[in-house]
Structure formats: C-alpha cells, structure tokens
Chains A and B, each alone.
Chain A
Amino acid sequence: MYRYDQYDQNIVDTRVAEFRDQVERRLSGALTEDQFKPLRLMNGLYLQLHAYMLRVAIPYGTLDGRQMRMLARIAREYDRGYGHFTTRQNLQYNWIKLSEAPDILADLATVEMHAIQTSGNCIRNISSDQFAGAAADEVTDPRPWAELLRQWSTFHPEFSYLPRKFKFAVIASDEDRAAMRLHDIGIQIVERDGTFGARIYAGGGMGRTPIIGKEIKDFVPVTNLLSYLEACLRVYNRHGRRDNMYKARIKILVNDLGAEEYARQVEEEFAAMETLDIDPPLAEFERIAGYFAPPAFDANAPDEVDRSDPDFAVWVDQNVKAHKQSGYALVTISLKPVGGIPGDASADQMDVMAGLAERYSFDELRVTHAQNIVLPHVKKADLYALWQRLSKAGLAEANLDLISDIIACPGLDYCSLANARSIPVAQKIAKRFSDAKRQRELGELKLKISGCINACGHHHAGHIGILGVDRKGTENYQLLLGGSGAEDVSLAKITGPGFDEAGIVDAVEKVTDVYLNARTEGERFVDTYRRVGMEPFKEALYG
C-alpha cells in the first residue's frame, strides 16, 4: 500500500489546521454560509437531510486495518456507530457536528486519510478495480497508476474549479469491475510489445444524461500519461459549459463535439504541452509502484479447500474468486444482509473486518463500487476459519452478484437531493427473494436503485434498474432493464409507467419470472433481455 511521504502528510495536516480555522470563523459569524459552503465542500462536508454529512476519501478503495479501525472509531465517537460505503468506494458519516468536523479530519490525518476533493467541481477520488493486485486476469496492478493520478490531481490549481465534478476510474483487465466506461475518463492499462500504457475512454457518466465513454486514445505510455490527461482536462476546462450545470459534465462536451473532434483537440493540446515537461520521470512512477509490490505469498500454500460444511461451500462458490497466486483467494464480504441497509457497516463490524484483514489478508481491505468489502489475499487454507468469524459478525451473506446484492444510494432517507427512498425498496426486494436457493437459481443479476435522477445508485447500469421519482408528492418507481457497468457495458431502458413501493417489488418478481421462462442454457438475466428484447417483459408488467 502507498504510504504518505512528508510532503503528503504536510499538505493534509496543513489543510486540517486551515479548516479548523474556517470552522471557528463560521461558528463565530466571521464567515457567512455562502462564504463557508465552498470551503466545507472542499473538505467533503455536506449539509444533508438530517445533519452534516462527511464523505471520507478511500483512494482507489484500498485501505489497511488501522485505517478501517479509525473509521470505526470515528463512527463510534463522533457519529452514531456506523458508516455507509458508497458507490465511489468512499465512506460517508451521516450525523456529523460541524464543531467536531476538524477533530475528525485531524484523526483521519493520523492514519493518512482525509476528505479532500470528495465534493466540489474538481477531480474526485480515483476509483479502481477492487481486485487490483490480486486478480488473475489483470495485466498489471492498476493502483500505481491511480496513485499517480491521485498525487497529480490533489490540489491541482488549474482543475480546482472545473465546469463540474470529474471522476476517473483505472482498471488493468478486460473484465471491468469498476464501471470504468461510465466515468468522465476511464483508463484501461494495457500491455503492448512488453510495455504498459493507458487506453483512454472519455465522456462516460450516468446522472440525468447517461452516456458510455468513448475510446479516444488506444495507448499512452506511462511517461506521457499525466500530460495527456492534463490535455484532456484542459480541453474540457476550456469548452465545458458553465452556463448550465446539467450540461456541464465532460460527457456533454464529448457528445456535442463528437469523440473524434474532442480527441483531435486533445492531441493538439498534448502536442503543445511537450515542452512543459510535466510528466514525472519513470523512476518516480517506479517508486510509487514499489509500494504496491505483491505481499510475501507462501509459495507452498495448499490449493485445496475442505468444502464438507455445506453452508461454507455455498459461500465459497458465491463470494470467493480466483487469485493470481496459487493457494490464495479473493474474498468479498457482503454488506447486503437480507433486510439490512446496502453498504452500511457498524463500527463493530468495521473493527471485525480490520482484524480479519490483519489476520488473514496481509492487512489489506478494499471497498467495492457495489458497496461491499474485499479481503484481497486470503490463503485458501484460512477460508473456513475466516468464514466462521464473518458469520459471527453477521458478515457472511453468500450473495455476491445475486439479486439481493443490491446497490442502493442513501435515497430520501438521508439525501437532500433525493425524490424517493431507495433503501426500503432494496430491503423489500431482498426479503422477497430471501430464499438463497431461489437467488442462486436466478444467477448473476445486478439490481441497482437510485432515489433520484442523479443516479448515485447506478440504476442506468443495472441488469434491473430502479429510479425513484416524485410524482405529485408521492414516491414512484420506474423500472429499467438491460443495463451493465461491466465490460459488456450498456444503458438500461425504462419499461413503461412507474410503480408504487409495493408495486415495484412485484414488478421485479414479474420480470425475473419472464427471465426464468425464457432463458436458455447459461444465460444471465441481462443476456436473455438482450436476446428477447423488452416486449415480453412489458407484456408481463403491463399486459
């Protein structure tokens, strides 16, 4: 894992002191809310539906045990004993006092964490593949590239006031576990003639205008990556719309210009930047990459797993994935217990996960965009003991990528932008499909719920998506089918008129019934939808 150097620590500590002064001036009346709001947002502090909300950055979703323990401690001491892991691999606290926010940031800084650039029209937390450094299918670990971007984008003076927020995702495999093409810029690390470079996609995003990112460059060597991305941002910063916040994201610019013309302008800017010499030397990239060296795997770790406990075997089949190192496995801890709140974890559960990471996973954890937690390097021989401890903590739900593994935004229960509640709908669907065999019979089915058109719950990318809307003061839910945030990326389409809260649960059941009747061997829900089209589903829903 990357560790702060003195420079990193200084800028974070300085920012904490600066924010402490700003909070004091706000509380004393020296700053009005209009003056203070942009300052608190630059430090991840929102005013939400019930209280201040603090969004803590977890760079590319990677953290260690002491960091997770600190998140638990903050939840316990300053919040109400829990936190919410988000679709951008961050953590949100819902009940923060303004007067205590500087102390929280100071505590975070002691474990090399902060909330900087988790809000505002700047480059946000860089997201990545939760299986980075462990996935059998990656060409290299994408996190050194993500860390390079983190350092470049932190306090970048030219990109602190972009037309709108800006999100990067970096992956290094053909399988996309990070919804890469639904980011403002998506980066896939690829190998060519023995060297690594970045394939660049621009103009993706969800929100009210969902668009899939388009490839604008097939290979940028790491020695030119920052100057190329700087060129991408410069063209956006120059031409992105500032007159209409709903048309200000880069996806609108790329769509309006056309990907080819946007790419041409980027190339022009890129060429003009050659003399600026902003790219770090390869040695600096290699220094960063050194922090992500593989842990000391036991080359003799046995590959066999004793599956004699049937409940354990089910969990292994569902939540454990292949690791690049023989004798090891990738474990996903589901934060989606039936009836629970997707992505929420109690302080006690955070402590448990921290301890398990220290004991079983070389002290590493990952946050996934699907709001789960990964232990990336677990010996297969330890899986049973790990599962037993997870079970005791209520963290052994065997539902990864099944219908109850629902992505849900906080919705109207917490969010001031929301039009409808997401969490109760997720809970009701999970309960309707609580039978584990039934879930497994349905197979991979990614269900994603947003409480408003901003799409924090990724409903556009759901095999089944649900969008909550306000219909004359009443919650109403639109059903969408056929989306994907993975390598088979696609945008879901609305089935037709919306449903009330009970109706949407019935509607989900009806479309799964259509799938079960129509599927052919090996087809997932989304495959069947793509083959048979919308009509059979509409017929079942609206007859």
Chain B
Amino acid sequence: MKILTGNDLATGDVVWWTGSGWSRHVEDAADVGDQGEAIAHAEEGARRVNSPYVIDGEQSDSGPRPAHIKDRVRALGPTVRPDLTLKPADPDAANRVL
C-alpha cells in the first residue's frame, strides 16, 4: 500500500492522509494508491500540509504502518522518550513499532 505523509504547516506535527483529511495517527492512514502525488499537490497548495511525500506502507495488527523504520519512528516519536510519543501510556510502543 501507499501512504501519504507530511508535516502540519503551522505546528510541524507529523500527519497522515486519511482519505478526507490529515490525522496525527498513522493507524488512520488511507491507501492512496497512485493518487498520492496529486493529493499532495492539492493539499500543499491549500496550505494544510508541508512537504508531503508518498511512502510504502503495510498492514499491521493495529492498522497501516510505514514499511521503513525511519517513517515508523516518525509515526511514533523518539523511541528514547516514550513520554513524548503519541502513546505515552504504552512503554513498549517503541519495540512494537520498530
């Protein structure tokens, strides 16, 4: 599957294209197929996202996730600061994500 990601223009937050908008949670990501570049262009033009790009994704038990470790770290947050990740209540999140 193909996933579209970028950063929120104003806040810099990592965001994922859901099919109708942007979410901070990778589990909400939609398979954009071959439409990623077109969506990215339109969304960047509308100033809803900064520097969007398409990556390979894969299905996991908890939903879509990036195929490459770099974007999995982007999806989670720094693995060395579990208190700053999107799931701070889950100390094992880094191990499962990686």
Contacts and interface: CB of A to CB of B under 8 A. Distances in A.
A413 B73 contact: yes
B28 interface: no
Nearest to A426: B80
B51 A33 contact: yes
A341 B74 CA distance: 19
A80 B84 contact: yes
B14 interface: yes
B50 A33 contact: yes
B11 interface: yes
Contacts of A80: 84
Contacts of B47: 27-29
Interface string A398-419: 0000000000000011101011
Nearest to A413: B78
Interface stretch (A13-21, A91-99, A250-258): A91-99
Q: Size range of the interface on B?
A: 20 to 34
B42 interface: no
B80 A412 contact: no
B51 A51 contact: no
B12 A52 contact: yes
A424 B98 CA distance: 13
Instruction: Give the interface SS of chain A, mostly helix, strand, loop or mixed.
Output: mixed
Contacts of B7: 47, 51-52
Given A29-B47, A33-B44, A341 B80 contact: yes
Interface string B70-94: 1001100111110010000000000
A99 B69 contact: no
Contacts of B77: 50
A474 interface: yes
Given A27-B10, A94-B78, 7 more contacts: A47-B50, A49-B14, A50-B74, A51-B13, A95-B12, A98-B10, A99-B10
Interface of A: 26-29, 33, 47, 49-52, 80, 94-99, 341, 412-414, 416, 418-419, 421, 423-424, 427, 470, 473-475
Q: Which 9 pairs between the two chains have the least Cβ-Cβ distance?
A: A51-B12, A413-B78, A52-B12, A423-B80, A99-B10, A97-B11, A29-B47, A413-B80, A49-B74
9 contacts: A27-B10, A49-B70, A49-B74, A50-B12, A95-B84, A98-B10, A98-B11, A421-B79, A473-B67
